[in-house]
Structure 1
Amino acid sequence: MIAELTRGERQAALIILCVLAFTGLLMAGFGRESALDFHGALVLALSVAGLFAVIRGYYAPPPDPARLREYFDAPGRAGILLAMGWAVIGMFFGVWVAALLAWPDLNFDSEFTSFGRIRPIHTTGVIFGFGGNALIATSFYVMQRTSRARIRDQLGAWFVLLGYNLFCLLAVTGYALGVTQSKEYAEPEWYADLWLVVVWVVYFAIYLRTLAHRKEPHIYVANWYYLAFILVVAMLHIVNNLAFPISLGSDKSYSLFAGVQDALTEWWYGHNAVAFFLTSGFLGMMYYFLPVRAGRPIYSYRMSIISFWGITFMYMWVGSHHLHYTALPQWVQTLGMTFSIVLLVPSWGSAANALLTLNGAWHKVRDDATLRFMMVSAVFYGLTTFEGSFLAIRSVNSLSHYTDWTVGHVHAGALGWVAMISFGAIYASVPWLWKRERMYSTRLVEAHFWLALGGTVVYVVAMWNSGIIQGLMWRTYTESGTLAYSFVDSVAAMHPYYIARAFGGLLFLTGAVIGCVNIALTIRHAPAPAAAADAEPPAAGQLQPAE
């Protein structure tokens, strides 16, 4: 890592690490809360370890000028490994959380393993740890190939990747210590939020600088989606996390918003996090890796651009559909419902574009599990966006909201769309990045696919059933006008479905573990290609200019 940095970048790395070490020392020395003390010590320890690593390689020969003209893939390789590591960690906690709902004693009577603490560890681990690292790694890869330009800032790329993972680490350890901002999407401590802003600004700057120095005149559509993901997530993060810390020595803070304004801001953030973190970025992934793997051009480049602008504009207005039958003004609720229904058009445009791209390549889908991951992800994307528009309708929402139906909907998107396209992109790029002929075992890829698909179907079907039963039980009245079932009755009725959910999650986790093993074996033992030119397909030949 250090050997690939120029002398100036090594000096900058020393300065950054010294600043971080000093900051960690202040946090550990002046913090009055357990989380702040712990995080200060953690930042200090990691910074000192980084300083030793940089100092050790500081006087190594600078990289060869010819090397600086090649693609810079080291952060991408590290990002893929980190993504798979976070996948296993996050999914393990997900299975644990699901099992807790079926067998509550599995918290072992400890405050650190209570549902309220390990549930945000699960969500942050899979969404931001797994999904975020997959997005960063693949965006670095796609940006360079579609621009025919090396990343402009080597130190900046490492700063983004490692700084982002420091944020994830601060978040999950903070949750274990019982510190969040008490929002629907559990938010980490205020100082972790500030750190992510710095990391994200550098990420955005690197992307723009690289595109500005591209040798390819056309900006390929995948970069549009990645840029929307980077830019809008920055806006969402800053606005939703506007808060005042009690003091610089405390990990507690108070939100700038309150009441219904806070609820609307939270769901503006929450649904646009779905839109631009869990949709836009992964559509960028799909629009590159699926055509390249299939050996087919995108069915309609024009449709991809139209879908981009439709998704970018319409998603901004839909968050209020989470607040039907609340104190939010009726017209705002109706606005969110209306845009949610209209949003189905650009969403299905992207799903259809992906599936139509496979025309003439369905025999590859049959034989190639990696491509099948991508195909199934497009199917789940279409199904989930239809369900999301359907659930936004006020009369349907009155049945589904606060029930497990919503949980099933979320995981149809998270497992069937986000995770499937991520695994497909990772399996496609690992042989290219490590200069291997193929994955070590295609049978393991096949096993991972069926475990992932089976786990997703079991999970989602169980939650559809439990959610609808919950909604019906909660709104069933006796002839005298009283509730026919108590809340405890509905909880007892959910027990078999919660067991099924835990089993589905366990299947999905098992597939992720198999994927990690296969990637490790590919890096260590898979054969190299016969010639260097065969290590990676000529992706540019599969990419269309604008129509």
Structure 2
Amino acid sequence: MVAQLTVAERRLCLYLLAAVAIVGLALAATGRSDPIGVHGAIALLASVGMIFVVLSGYYEPEPSPERLSHYYDDPIKVGIVLTMAWAVVGMFLGVWVAALLAWPDLTFDAGWASFGRLRPAHTTGVIFGFGGNALIATSLHVLQRTSRARLPGQVSPWFVLFGYNLFCIIAVTGYLMGVTQSKEYAEPEWYADIWLVIVWVTYLAIYVRTLARRKEPHIYVANWYYMAFILVVAILHVFNNIAVPVSLAHAKSYSAFSGVQDAMTQWWYGHNAVAFFLTAGFLGMLYYYLPKRAGRPIFSYRLSIISFWGITFIYMWAGPHHLHYTALPQWVQSLGMTFSVILLVPSWASAGNALATLNGAWDKVRTDATLRFMMVAAVFYGLSTFEGSFMAIRPVNSLSHYTDWTVAHVHAGALGWVAMITFGAIYSLVPWMWKREHMYSARLVEVHFWFALAGTIIYVFAMWNSGIIQGLMWRTYNESGTLTYSFIESVEAMHPYYIARTVGGLLFLIGAVVGAYNVWMTIRTAPRQAEAAEPDLPVPTFAARPAE
């Protein structure tokens, strides 16, 4: 890591880390009786730790100028390790949260272990910790290979990785201390939001600068999706988190919006976070790693472009379908419902394009578990987008909303689509990065796949049953016109499904642990000698504009 930096770049790292340490020290000193003090201490410790890492290699010889003729893969390697670490942590919290619904005493009388605090810690750990690190690592890999250009800065990728993971740690620990902005995605503290803006703008600058320096005139479609993800998430984050802090020494803040305007802003953000963080970014991953692994060109490059623009424009209007039967104006609800139904067209275009790409490679799907991860991801993407459009229809939403059906839908996308394509991409990427012919154990990849698939199916089917039963019980009336079932009776009816949900989540977690072990052993058994960096290579055959 440090050996790849010049002395001037090492000095710049020390300056940046010292600045973070000073800010952390100031927060720790001014907010001693507030969670902001804890977060200041975390920032201080993290930056001091990284300072020692830089100092340990500060007097290493200057790297050869020839390094600039090779791809810059060190940040990608660290991003992969962080991805798998967050996968285990985030999914462990998810199993704990699921178990709490079946056995509430698992809080162990600890306030930080309550459902209300563990749940946002789980969602942030999985979505932003696991998913975000996967997107950063794979995007930097795809960007370099498809543009045949090295990343423009040697320090900025490390700043993005360090800064982004510091944000995730601050967010998760803040939730455990009970500090949020009280929104659907339990937004973290105001100072964490400002820090993320700095990190994200740096990430965007890396991407734009690399594309500007590209040696391949064509911008491959995966980069379109990654760029949309980076740019739109920046806009969403800024507008959804406009807030006024109580004071500079206090973690609490108040949103600039209120009432129905706040609800609309929240779901404009919430649904487009799904659209561009959990869809566009991972479609970029799909459009590179699936054809690469299958050894086949994209079935229709033109269709992938049409799908991109359809998703980009239509998804932006779909958020109001989360607010049916509320104070939101009826025409806005209808607009969200209409665009949500239309959204099925570009979404299925992407899913169908991915599956059609496997024509002629189905024999590989049978024998290659890594490719099977990607195939199953494409199937779940198609199923989840159909279900999302269906649930946006107002009469259907009257049954599904506030029930576990929504939980089933979310996890069909999170486990079946996002996690599956991520694991497939990582199993492809790890041997390439560490110069291995294959993973440490192909059998463990198979084991991981079947644990993940079984866990997803059990989880989703349990929540489908639970949600539909909930919805029906809540709207069942007796002959006198009153509700047949009390709310507590509906909760009691959910108990066996919550047990099944916990079992499904546990299976998925076991698969993630197996995958993390496999990745770690692949890294440990990589050749010990200094590895020659990969030179600039021609763009993969599928990345060039193919004939339709």
TM-score bracket for the superposition, by shorter chain length = over 0.9
Which residues of structure 2 form unaligned runs of 5+? none
Matched, 1:298 2:260: no
Shift of 1:154: 1.4
Which residue number in structure 2 is paired with residue 377 of structure 1?
377
After superposition, give the CA deviation of every residue in 1:494-525 in whole Å (9 maximum; x if it has no partner).
Answer: 00000000000000000000001111111122
Given that residues 71 and 534 in structure 2 are in contact (C-alpha distance below 8 angstroms), is that contact kept between their aligned partners in structure 1?
Answer: no
* Cα distance change of structure 1 residues 534 and 268 upon mapping to structure 2, 3 Å threshold: closer
Which residue number in structure 1 is paired with residue 486 of structure 2?
486
Amino acid across the alignment from 1:153: G
Cα distance between partner residues in 2 of 1:485 and 1:125: 36
Q: Secondary structure at the match of 2:247?
A: coil
* Cα distance change of structure 1 residues 446 and 309 upon mapping to structure 2, 3 Å threshold: same
Q: Secondary structure at the match of 1:506?
A: helix
Which residue number in structure 2 is paired with residue 19 of structure 1?
19
Which residue number in structure 2 is paired with residue 388 of structure 1?
388
Judge which range, 493-502 or 519-528, deviates more. 519-528
Judge which range, 5-14 or 440-449, deviates more. 5-14
Give 1:2-401 correspondences, 5 Å limit.
Answer: 2-31=2-31, 33-401=33-401
Which residues of structure 1 form unaligned runs of 5+? none
* Cα distance change of structure 1 residues 461 and 420 upon mapping to structure 2, 3 Å threshold: same
Amino acid across the alignment from 1:195: W
After superposition, give the CA deviation of every residue in 1:358-417 in whole Å (9 maximum; x if it has no partner).
Answer: 000000000000000000000000000000000000000000000000000000000000
Given that residues 287 and 354 in structure 1 are in contact (C-alpha distance below 8 angstroms), is that contact kept between their aligned partners in structure 2?
Answer: yes
Judge which range, 368-377 or 531-540, deviates more. 531-540
Which residue number in structure 1 is paired with residue 515 of structure 2?
515
CA RMSD across the alignment: 1.7
Given that residues 436 and 528 in structure 1 are in contact (C-alpha distance below 8 angstroms), is that contact kept between their aligned partners in structure 2?
Answer: no
Shift of 1:190: 0.5
Given that residues 87 and 125 in structure 1 are in contact (C-alpha distance below 8 angstroms), is that contact kept between their aligned partners in structure 2?
Answer: yes
Matched, 1:451 2:451: yes
Amino acid across the alignment from 2:287: Y
Shift of 1:52: 2.5
Given that residues 438 and 527 in structure 1 are in contact (C-alpha distance below 8 angstroms), is that contact kept between their aligned partners in structure 2?
Answer: no
Cα distance between partner residues in 2 of 1:154 and 1:389: 43
Q: Secondary structure at the match of 2:244?
A: strand
Cα distance between partner residues in 2 of 1:200 and 1:327: 34
Given that residues 432 and 535 in structure 1 are in contact (C-alpha distance below 8 angstroms), is that contact kept between their aligned partners in structure 2?
Answer: no
Amino acid across the alignment from 2:89: I
Judge which range, 51-60 or 534-543, deviates more. 534-543
Given that residues 69 and 536 in structure 2 are in contact (C-alpha distance below 8 angstroms), is that contact kept between their aligned partners in structure 1?
Answer: no
Shift of 1:162: 1.0
Q: Secondary structure at the match of 2:97?
A: helix
Q: TM-score normalized by structure 2?
A: 0.97
Amino acid across the alignment from 1:433: M
Judge which range, 222-231 or 4-13, deviates more. 4-13
Given that residues 437 and 528 in structure 1 are in contact (C-alpha distance below 8 angstroms), is that contact kept between their aligned partners in structure 2?
Answer: no
Amino acid across the alignment from 2:275: A
Given that residues 69 and 535 in structure 2 are in contact (C-alpha distance below 8 angstroms), is that contact kept between their aligned partners in structure 1?
Answer: no
Shift of 1:533: 11
Shift of 1:325: 0.2
Cα distance between partner residues in 2 of 1:491 and 1:535: 59
Which residue number in structure 2 is paired with residue 408 of structure 1?
408
* Cα distance change of structure 1 residues 259 and 546 upon mapping to structure 2, 3 Å threshold: farther
* Cα distance change of structure 1 residues 62 and 263 upon mapping to structure 2, 3 Å threshold: same
Q: Secondary structure at the match of 2:45?
A: helix
Cα distance between partner residues in 2 of 1:257 and 1:306: 35
Given that residues 440 and 526 in structure 1 are in contact (C-alpha distance below 8 angstroms), is that contact kept between their aligned partners in structure 2?
Answer: no
After superposition, give the CA deviation of every residue in 1:279-324 in whole Å (9 maximum; x if it has no partner).
Answer: 0000000000000000000000000000000000000000000000
Shift of 1:534: 11
Cα distance between partner residues in 1 of 2:140 and 2:326: 42
Q: Secondary structure at the match of 1:402?
A: coil
Given that residues 146 and 220 in structure 1 are in contact (C-alpha distance below 8 angstroms), is that contact kept between their aligned partners in structure 2?
Answer: yes
Cα distance between partner residues in 2 of 1:301 and 1:309: 13
Cα distance between partner residues in 2 of 1:92 and 1:169: 16
Given that residues 83 and 131 in structure 2 are in contact (C-alpha distance below 8 angstroms), is that contact kept between their aligned partners in structure 1?
Answer: yes
Which residue number in structure 1 is paired with residue 543 of structure 2?
543
Shift of 1:344: 0.3
Shift of 1:538: 7.2
After superposition, give the CA deviation of every residue in 1:223-247 in whole Å (9 maximum; x if it has no partner).
Answer: 0000000000000000000000000
Q: TM-score normalized by structure 1?
A: 0.98
Given that residues 435 and 536 in structure 1 are in contact (C-alpha distance below 8 angstroms), is that contact kept between their aligned partners in structure 2?
Answer: no
Amino acid across the alignment from 1:263: A
Shift of 1:17: 1.1
Given that residues 71 and 535 in structure 2 are in contact (C-alpha distance below 8 angstroms), is that contact kept between their aligned partners in structure 1?
Answer: no
Judge which range, 49-58 or 266-275, deviates more. 49-58
Shift of 1:206: 0.4
Amino acid across the alignment from 1:378: A
Given that residues 302 and 546 in structure 1 are in contact (C-alpha distance below 8 angstroms), is that contact kept between their aligned partners in structure 2?
Answer: no
Cα distance between partner residues in 1 of 2:471 and 2:516: 39
Amino acid across the alignment from 2:21: A
Cα distance between partner residues in 2 of 1:190 and 1:534: 41
Shift of 1:528: 9.6
Shift of 1:540: 1.2
* Cα distance change of structure 1 residues 72 and 535 upon mapping to structure 2, 3 Å threshold: closer
Shift of 1:539: 5.9
Amino acid across the alignment from 1:462: A
* Cα distance change of structure 1 residues 403 and 489 upon mapping to structure 2, 3 Å threshold: same
Given that residues 477 and 484 in structure 2 are in contact (C-alpha distance below 8 angstroms), is that contact kept between their aligned partners in structure 1?
Answer: yes
Give 1:417-456 correspondences, 5 Å limit.
Answer: 417-456=417-456
Cα distance between partner residues in 2 of 1:33 and 1:215: 54
Cα distance between partner residues in 2 of 1:117 and 1:534: 45
Question: Percentage identity across aligned positions?
Answer: 71
* Cα distance change of structure 1 residues 216 and 7 upon mapping to structure 2, 3 Å threshold: same
Amino acid across the alignment from 2:248: L
